[in-house]
DNA sequence: AGCACGCCGACT
DNA sequence: GTCGGCGTGCTC
């Protein structure tokens, strides 16, 4: 039987597949999973063959122009995975395929230099994947456990994907396993697309069976995949910020289901979503208990007047002095960069803001510049008020740089260092280190005697249902860096995150967190889909959001709930106003079906961009 | 997404 | 008249 018509998908937000005629010269070679070049909307584009038919409802079919690979790039399992991603995240199948493919294969250039040693596998498993959560309080025991597990898998001829939250960690991980296996690495960014392609083929051909890499490494075409490790599962970088907004944890589960492999999550404070998943029957928790967690002292700051007294409480100062005397190190956690965080005019009240993001500008002493913490914007500190031309500009607010100067003044005998996301490396030598969240990228080998959480309450201001879990994770990770003691300064000592930390019980935290989520029907007890709108003119974006809201509530099935349109957490970013509408429900299929149907016949106007974010 | 078509306002 | 902004439809 000769193949006459090919069904082809493309990497655009249009659902196909599209039918193309197959010329005689191609019909013998064309196969499902192959990259092809097809004319599409008067341009030539990359397409992916997903099937064949005998007839088409379209009269004049355009032809497949060429086949780009000798052998299929995508096997059945990959087609199934990309299809599942498209369904779950509401993108087209073609878009999912394009995110799967390495950069070098996303274009219509033929790749003839490489032939694939193996045919794609065809077996399809459907059982629920085996999942294990390694919850490790020690930061050390996990490596022993992982070495054993990975060694066992590799010895049996299986393949391993080891996901890390950022590319910088790959070297550290490779080092942990260097005596077990010559490891392959998926690097992103710095690797040239040519090298990345070579490596992709080596992985596909089974020459590399152990792959370590960031989020996108979940797509590494590892042969006989037996184990996926998601290291630091709670890390936010596992969620992609662009469409499709996939989460590596979810893709790992999808892949495990299709390929019948195991998923191993490693964390010292996982997401509530994962805790819930693992708590179900048949899943395993491996608790690696620390002999002794460092004590946590919560200092109630209610009676401290921030205008009169130093931001470091007397109990914290006392611990710092003790630590200094013993030659120990202190980490002061201050999650705010810069020196001053706000500059305003004392005459007219004008506050210096980023024009593109509407956020207060931070004064960076190190650069002598005003910077926006959301976009790259930078400018000089004006001499007079831009609004009233008066010379009454005053700067207030405290960032790490200011705390650094204050601490250096109070402890002249100490070496004071600072770290934030644009400091190059950790200071080699310090007695007191003032650091933002970015310091946790070194948490694997950062060890101090005392940790001071300076402004706990500042972290509570995030209006996000996951903020409690993130705080719990943050405290847990900081605490693991402390050998001696952790001091937390707060005006809300009865916060349940702090109470469960003091109880030394993560199970208590997750029980309470999950109860709260259940009460108000939030993930993991419901699916959440955000319809996100962004555009240049606020009134237009707002209008559109309301228009969509009306359509979403008009013939709404009882199974979904639609929230009022509201500004995004960052209401304005890089000159675009952002609104979102949250849709909730027990069934993701029902939500997606409903939302996609409403958006389908909605006309986007005035260049408003509308995107879907599943499990935002 | 990205591009052409077509409908209305303002202007060499 | 016609130039061009933007809303609309379409891609096998």
Among candidate residues A12, A24, A20, A25, the one with its CA nearest the CA of residue A39: A20
Mean pLDDT of chain A: 92
Q: Strand B nucleotides below 7 A of a protein CB?
A: 1-4
pLDDT category at A183 given cuts 50, 70, 90 is low
**Whole-number Å distance between alpha carbons of A597 and A390:** 55
Residues 6+ apart with CB under 8 A from A605: A540, A544
Report CA-CA distances (Å) from A368 to A339, A356, A379, A391, A537. 10, 21, 9, 19, 33
CA-to-C1' distance for A114 and B9, Å?
A: 58
Q: Please give the pLDDT value at position A316.
A: 98
Q: Is A174 exposed, middle or buried (0-12, 13-18, 19+ CB in 10 A)?
A: middle
Pick the closest to residue A222 from A375, A300, A118, A113 (CA basis). Answer: A118
Mean pLDDT of A339-349: 96
Lowest mean pLDDT among A84-88, A116-120, A208-212, A262-266: A116-120
Q: What is the pLDDT of residue A125?
A: 59
**Nucleotide in closest CA–C1' contact with A11:** B1
Helix (H) or strand (E) holding A57: none
Q: Which residue has the higher pLDDT, A599 or A601?
A: A599
Give mean pLDDT, residues A11-35: 95
Q: How far is the CA of A609 from the C1' of C2 (A)?
A: 32
Token pair listed for A15: 């659902």
Cβ–Cβ under 8 Å, residues A458 and A337 = no
**CA gap A96, A36 in Å, rounded:** 16
pTM for this predicted structure: 0.94
Give the end-to-end CA distance of chain A in Å, rounded to a whole number: 47
Q: CA A43 – C1' C3 distance (Å)?
A: 27
pLDDT digits (tens, 9 = 90+) for A457-502: 999 888 899 999 999 999 999 999 999 999 999 999 999 999 999 9
- Sheet containing strand A369-371, edge to edge, reads A362-364, A369-371, A378-379
For nucleotide C10, give the residue with the nearest CA to its C1'.
A41
Give tens-digit pLDDT for A234-281: 999 999 999 999 999 999 999 999 999 999 999 999 999 999 999 987
- Is residue A537 over pLDDT 90? no
* Cα A403 to Cα A311, A318, A373, A400, distances in angstroms: 9, 17, 18, 5
Q: Look-up: residue for tokens 């349940």?
A: A496
> Which ranges of A312-453 would DSSP assign to H, the alpha helix?
314-325, 400-410
pLDDT digits 0-9 by tens, A185-230? 776 667 888 889 999 999 999 999 999 999 999 999 999 999 999 9
A177 pLDDT above the threshold of 80: yes
Q: Which has more confidence, A324 or A137?
A: A324
3-state DSSP helix/strand/coil percent for chain A, to nearest 5? Answer: 30, 25, 45
Hey, is A476 helix, strand or coil?
A: helix
The pLDDT, as a whole number, for residue A117 is: 43
pLDDT of residue A189: 66
> Would you say the C-alpha torsion A50, A52, A55, A60 has a positive or negative sign?
positive
pLDDT value at residue A182: 63
């Amino acid at each position: 039987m000769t193949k006459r018509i090919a069904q082809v998908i493309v990497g655009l937000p249009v659902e196909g597949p599209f039918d193309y005629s197959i010329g005689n010269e191609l019909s013998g070679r064309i196969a499902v999973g192959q990259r092809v070049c097809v004319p599409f909307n008067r341009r030539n584009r990359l397409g992916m063959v997903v099937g064949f038919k005998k007839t088409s409802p379209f009269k004049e079919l355009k032809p497949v122009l060429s086949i780009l690979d000798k052998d299929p790039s995508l096997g059945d399992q990959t087609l199934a995975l990309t299809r599942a991603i498209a369904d779950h995240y509401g993108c087209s199948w073609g878009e999912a395929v394009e995110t799967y493919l390495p950069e070098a294969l996303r274009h219509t250039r033929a790749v003839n230099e490489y032939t694939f040693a193996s045919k794609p596998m065809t077996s399809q498993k459907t059982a629920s994947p085996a999942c294990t959560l390694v919850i490790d309080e020690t930061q050390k025991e996990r490596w022993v456990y992982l070495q054993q597990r990975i060694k066992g898998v590799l010895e049996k001829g299986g393949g391993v994907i080891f996901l890390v939250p950022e590319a910088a960690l790959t070297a550290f991980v490779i080092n942990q396993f260097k005596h077990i296996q010559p490891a392959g690495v998926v690097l992103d960014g710095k690797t040239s697309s040519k090298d990345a392609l070579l490596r992709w083929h080596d992985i596909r051909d089974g020459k590399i069976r152990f792959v370590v890499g960031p989020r996108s490494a979940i797509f590494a075409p590892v042969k006989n995949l037996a184990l996926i490790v998601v290291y630091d599962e709670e890390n936010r970088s596992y969620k992609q910020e662009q469409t499709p907004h996939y989460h590596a944890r979810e893709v790992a589960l999808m892949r495990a289901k299709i390929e019948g492999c195991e998923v191993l999550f490693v964390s010292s404070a996982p997401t509530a979503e994962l805790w819930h998943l693992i708590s179900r029957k048949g899943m395993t928790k491996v608790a690696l208990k620390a002999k002794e967690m460092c004590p946590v002292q919560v200092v109630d700051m209610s009676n401290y007047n921030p205008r009169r007294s130093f931001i470091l409480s007397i109990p914290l100062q006392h611990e710092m002095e003790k630590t200094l005397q013993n030659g120990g190190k202190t980490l002061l956690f201050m999650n705010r960069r810069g020196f001053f965080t706000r500059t305003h005019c004392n005459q007219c009240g004008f506050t210096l803001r980023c024009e593109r993001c509407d956020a207060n500008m931070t004064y960076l002493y190190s650069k002598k510049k005003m910077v926006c913490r959301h976009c790259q914007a930078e400018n000089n500190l004006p001499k007079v008020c831009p609004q009233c031309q008066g010379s009454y500009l005053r700067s207030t607010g405290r960032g790490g740089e200011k705390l650094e100067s204050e601490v250096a003044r109070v402890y002249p005998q100490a070496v004071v260092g600072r770290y934030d996301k644009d400091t190059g490396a950790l200071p080699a030598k310090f007695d007191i280190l003032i650091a933002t969240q970015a310091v946790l990228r070194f948490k694997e080998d950062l060890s101090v005697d005392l940790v001071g959480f300076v402004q706990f309450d500042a972290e509570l201001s995030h209006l996000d249902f996951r903020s409690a879990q993130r705080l719990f994770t943050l405290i847990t990770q900081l605490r693991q860096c402390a050998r001696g003691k952790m001091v937390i300064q707060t005006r809300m000592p009865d916060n349940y995150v702090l109470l469960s930390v003091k109880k030394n019980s993560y199970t208590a935290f997750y029980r309470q967190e999950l109860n709260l989520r259940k009460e108000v029907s939030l993930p993991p007890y419901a699916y959440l889909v955000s319809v996100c709108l962004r555009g240049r003119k606020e009134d237009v974006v707002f209008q559109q959001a309301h228009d969509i809201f009306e359509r979403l509530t008009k013939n709404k099935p009882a199974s979904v709930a639609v929230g009022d349109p509201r500004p995004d957490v960052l209401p304005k970013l890089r000159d675009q106003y952002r609104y979102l509408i949250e849709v909730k429900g027990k069934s993701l299929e029902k939500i997606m079906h409903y939302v996609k149907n409403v958006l389908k016949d909605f006309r986007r106007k005035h260049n408003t961009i509308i995107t879907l974010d599943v499990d935002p």
